[in-house]
Amino acid sequence: MLSSPDLSFSRTLPIVVFNQLGELLEQMAQTVESATLVLTEAVLARICIPVEWQRQRFTLVVSEQFSALLLGNFEQGEQGSRGAEEQGIDSALNARLTFNLEAIASFLHELRDLFECDSYTHQNLERYRQIIGPNDATLQSKFSLLLLEYFLTQPNQEIIAPPSPTAPAVYICQPVEDALKKQVSQERLLNQVTTQIRKSLDLPVIMATAITQVREFLELDRLVIYKFEGSKVKTQQYQSSTDEDNGKRSTSISVNNQSLVEDYQQHGAYIVYEARATDAITCVLNYTEKNCFMRTSQCWEKYRQGFTLAVDDVEKTYALEECLLNFLRESQVRAKLAAPIILEDKLWGLLIAHQCNEPRQWIDSEKNLLIAIAEQLAIAIHQAELMQTLTQEKQTLEQRVIERTIGLRDALLAAEAANRLRSEFLATISHELLTPLTYVIGMSSTLLRWPLGELSQRQRDYLQTIHDSGEHLLEMINDILDLSQIEAGKTALNISEFSLVNVAENAVESLRKKATSEQINLNLDLQIDPRRDRFTADAERVAQILSNLLTNAIKFTPESGNVTLRLWVEDDTAIFQVEDTGIGIREEQLPLLFEKFQQLDTPYRRRYEGTGLGLALTKQLVELHRGRIEVESTISIGSIFTVWIPTQAMRVLS
């Protein structure tokens, strides 16, 4: 009963009676002439609240002339108002109705502190807390009459009509059977969406089909997908609608086909998919709110944590958010249910169900279905992003392959052009240099043997210099031509049987005069069985190999030094070894020894002539026989060059 000292009363009330008292307070608020605030627990739906607030229900009326607070707490062990109402349980609350100004102001203060300080709700609650004044006696009496009228009109007992013998019998388990049927249908719908995601990577088709089926199953006015900034997958055009002929209800599907909406970067999100029950319902495709959403960061944080927002009536939940409430009115939204689409721990967007013309109490099964569909859409989006990334990488790789192929082709063409120029240059050398050089050598030789008249010693020396220089130049040009022919693969071995001893002796004898003039001892060490003297290879090329090695050894051996050519046979391989007591080669320079035009950087570099082709050509000739060449050297002691040449088959190898 009403208590005068604090103008309040407390008692345990059934939830139905509690709700009816709340409706009486809302009716009373409509009769107050001054600005009146009416709030229920629905205002807390968007924010994180302590556990004690989760078990409360309230109706709050605040104005300058009339203020009242109806507060109810579920008894310990009760599961909560929404669950009790859904299951038809007659739950009870410890209810308190108070008109005490201090109690109302204290409740407003606690309620205000649940919201962020910079939110519209926090600011408006503080403003209304400041205007609370004593209740007008007339309005207080009017509410008392409404309360009295309510209790007097309640029937004492419920009249139950006797069952009619003609009425159809109702199966006692019908509610359970209906719930099971609905659950089976819901699971079937979820399986259809899951199957489509597994079979297809066409994201626009998957999303448009999914929201159409879910909208029809839940009998929603509108279902949309709200996409946040930073999402990778771009949406594409997809539209579908059914005919309205023969009185059928039409369904409109709209999909955003813009790669970039102007307000997207500035305002963070926009609607990319939409399914409507009828064309009469306002289309919100591509719509982005410009002013009101930026202050709802607390709600966005809840979404990131997997929170599902259920708003039964936007007029109650957003009563203090005038900007947002006007936006929802313009968009024709009266109730909404929003489930987050979370992709790799990031908030990709929201799947939002709208009831447009009247409030709707969302039940747990509807929430669970929307959450499950949002999770499946997240899988589809992840697949699409992976495919998009794979496609981009494939295109990048293909482009790199094309660029690399073009580069290799250009390099090949350049190499072919360079090779062609080299061939032309060598052909020019062959014709333009060899021919006159042959004349020079021939004429100088003829003059040296001229029988008519006497040549002075000075003239003879000049002719000899001309002849020797020509011979040297001829050898150098022939080396260049030979090396070029080998590298071009145009050199063929002239395989024949010959005597190894004769080749070795001829090589030594051809350089005997040169060695004597340099005061170098040139020796031949034959370690070969006479029965294995016959060998099959290119005799001319083998002689050229020995000549090059002996010439090189003589060149770098000081006076009174020794140069020795050794020869022996192991199995089917002839082994030639040239040892000298020359200047030697540093170990770090050995890898450069067989490179073309390479002259080692030694103090003797300027004392000895040469183009650096002799050893390079020798290595090429050895490898042309499928053989190998090795060198051992010690500074100031000398070097040993060893050549292995296997016997060749009696055919021409190219």
Give residue-wise pLDDT tens across range 123-141. Answer: 888 888 888 888 888 888 8
Give the pair of three-digit tokens for residue 550: 């002996």
- Which tens digit of pLDDT belongs to each residue from 326-337? 888 988 999 999
- Which tens digit of pLDDT belongs to each residue from 44-53? 888 878 888 8
Question: What's the distance, Cα to Cα, between the start and end of the chain in Å?
Answer: 120
Q: Are 214 and 245 in contact (CB under 8 A)?
A: no
Other C-beta atoms within 10 Å of 115: how many? 21
pLDDT at 237: 39
pLDDT at 633: 92
Tell me, yes or no, if the pTM score tops 0.75: no
Q: Tell me the CA distances in angstroms from 355 to 329, 332, 335, 370, one per residue in order.
A: 12, 8, 5, 14
- Residue 119 — very low, low, confident or very high, per pLDDT cuts 50/70/90? confident
Measured CA to CA, the distance from residue 353 to residue 474 in angstroms comes to 96
Q: What is the mean pLDDT of residues 481-505?
A: 83
Q: Is the pLDDT of residue 230 over 90?
A: no
- Which tens digit of pLDDT belongs to each residue from 170-210? 455 666 777 777 778 878 888 888 887 777 778 888 888 88
- Residue 611 — very low, low, confident or very high, per pLDDT cuts 50/70/90? low
Q: Are 619 and 644 in contact (CB under 8 A)?
A: no
Burial class (CB in 10 A: 0-12, 13-18, 19+), 298: middle
Q: What is the mean pLDDT of residues 512-537?
A: 92
Q: Is the pLDDT of residue 456 over 60?
A: yes
Measured CA to CA, the distance from residue 518 to residue 466 in angstroms comes to 20
Q: What is the mean pLDDT of residues 137-156?
A: 79
Measured CA to CA, the distance from residue 6 to residue 3 in angstroms comes to 6
> Which amino acid makes up residue 365?
S
- Residue 547 — very low, low, confident or very high, per pLDDT cuts 50/70/90? very high
Q: Tell me the CA distances in angstroms from 260 to 234, 396, 421, one per residue in order.
A: 9, 23, 56
Measured CA to CA, the distance from residue 185 to residue 177 in angstroms comes to 12
Query: Which of 263, 256, 214 shows the shortest CA–CA distance to 238?
Result: 256
Main-chain dihedrals φ then ψ at residue 534, nearest 5 degrees: -75, 135
Measured CA to CA, the distance from residue 103 to residue 108 in angstroms comes to 9
Q: Hey, CA dihedral for 134, 137, 142, 144, is it positive or negative?
A: positive
Measured CA to CA, the distance from residue 338 to residue 427 in angstroms comes to 84
Q: Tell me the CA distances in angstroms from 336 to 219, 225, 356, one per residue in order.
A: 13, 13, 9
Angle in degrees, 0-180, between the axes of helices 500-510 and 539-555, rounded to the nearest 10: 40
3-state DSSP assignment of residue 576 = strand
N residues, the chain: 654
Query: Which of 83, 84, 86, 107 shows the shortest CA–CA distance to 96?
Result: 107
Greater confidence (654 vs 621) lies with: 621
> Which amino acid makes up residue 428?
T
| DSSP H or E segment with residue 349 | strand 346-355
Q: What is the mean pLDDT of residues 551-572?
A: 92
Give the E-state strand segments of 442-548 in sequence order: 496-499, 521-526, 534-537
Q: What is the mean pLDDT of residues 110-114?
A: 90
Burial class (CB in 10 A: 0-12, 13-18, 19+), 140: middle
Greater confidence (159 vs 306) lies with: 306
Burial string for 505-538 (b: 16+ CB within 10 Å, else e) reads eebbeebeeebeebebebeeeeebeeeeeebbbb
Contacts of 137 (CB under 8 A, 6+ apart): none
Measured CA to CA, the distance from residue 463 to residue 451 in angstroms comes to 15
Q: Is the pLDDT of residue 654 over 50?
A: no
- Residue 600 — very low, low, confident or very high, per pLDDT cuts 50/70/90? low
